[in-house]
Chain A
């Protein structure tokens, strides 16, 4: 156990482990991140490569890609987000259960990238809160793995109950009330 707060002595405690709730809950969460592949453009190809045998994202405990937002807790936005698609991205984000995280993969998802255009959202952080940004056009699978490990570190440092309490009443309302969802 890495956590300094764990004090376990089998002779004294028997089969009881004493720790902090945050340490246990975050340890569980960070080793079972279930990504939602929001593949919108060519970055999604690198995302697929990261999931395949050569780069093997399952080495780090996050290989369970789920195409239903109800079963995922980390949205990987891989590709160009157009204004037409922005509505869908936000709605899918709203449908994911708390706690949830967002990774902006590549230049387009982070800033709009080379698409300085009337049709392209200039960074997905304008509509969803982003935890980790990845540079590159597209980023290599190693960059995605590095970002996911950084996300794990970030999850490990959070307060475990933080995401369970809605920050604003209206955001909680929106999460349950998508258009015909």
Chain B
């Protein structure tokens, strides 16, 4: 099924290349041809459901960001993955699929929130998980896992409580359970408690 799709697609769209994949058929597509390809996938090839929109940050490589789209055909029962490199490493942007698939709306907002990729043509490209004034994109490789100190979103609450967004204490983490023995003894806990946010990590 997927092989015949691949032959038809590459014959019709000569800019497509096959991408190395350990599961489903995956294709590389240039950003400016994405709308054309996805319209054909939806209307002519039966890939009528967009399951996921996400991205990868390749850190020091260029292109730095690659957007990913996972399609499902509800008639052929087959998945298809499309990978699109963002042309600009510093202000990454991709065309929005929100006009083709309703599910793209929230997925693209999430990817924008966490990776900072702008989806051109999106009807309401605002953050979906972090608050609107948050200055970072947390899934980028240059963002530390613990976070960066930032003011709380509400000024009056920050003033009344003196609290702010602080880097999370990471000592002993990640917090995993061994799984052996009774639950009372295997609750996820810190493995290294020799340092905390009040006591610096010992250097040796």
Binding site for B on A (CB under 8 A): 83-84, 86-87, 90-91, 94, 112, 114-122, 126-128, 137, 170-171, 174, 177-179
Asked whether any CB of chain A lies closer than 8 Å to the CB of B40, the reply is no
* Cα-based distance from A128 to B163 in the complex (angstroms): 10
Q: Are A119 and B130 in contact (CB under 8 A)?
A: yes
Query: Shortest CB–CB separation between residue A164 and chain B, in angstroms?
Result: 19
Asked whether any CB of chain A lies closer than 8 Å to the CB of B99, the reply is no
Q: Is the interface of A mostly helix, strand, loop or mixed?
A: loop
Q: Are B153 and A114 in contact (CB under 8 A)?
A: no
Q: Are B130 and A122 in contact (CB under 8 A)?
A: no
Question: Which residue of chain B lies nearest to A129 when distances are taken between CB atoms in the complex?
Answer: B161
Q: Are A118 and B148 in contact (CB under 8 A)?
A: yes
Of B147, B157, B170, the residue contacting A127 (CB under 8 A) is: B157
Q: Is the interface of B mostly helix, strand, loop or mixed?
A: loop
Q: Are B152 and A118 in contact (CB under 8 A)?
A: no
* Cα-based distance from A171 to B160 in the complex (angstroms): 7
Of A117, A118, A126, the residue contacting B163 (CB under 8 A) is: A126
User: Which residues of chain B come closer than 8 Å to A117, judged between CB atoms?
Assistant: 145, 147, 168
Q: Are B188 and A114 in contact (CB under 8 A)?
A: yes
Q: Are A90 and B147 in contact (CB under 8 A)?
A: no
Per-residue 0/1 for B120-154: is the Cβ within 8 Å of any A Cβ (1 yes, 0 no)? 00000000011100000010000111111000111
User: Which residues of chain B come closer than 8 Å to A84, judged between CB atoms?
Assistant: 129-131, 153
Of B148, B160, B170, the residue contacting A116 (CB under 8 A) is: B170
Query: Mind listing 9 A-B residue pairs with CB under 8 Å?
Result: A87-B157, A90-B160, A115-B168, A118-B168, A119-B129, A119-B138, A122-B168, A126-B163, A127-B161
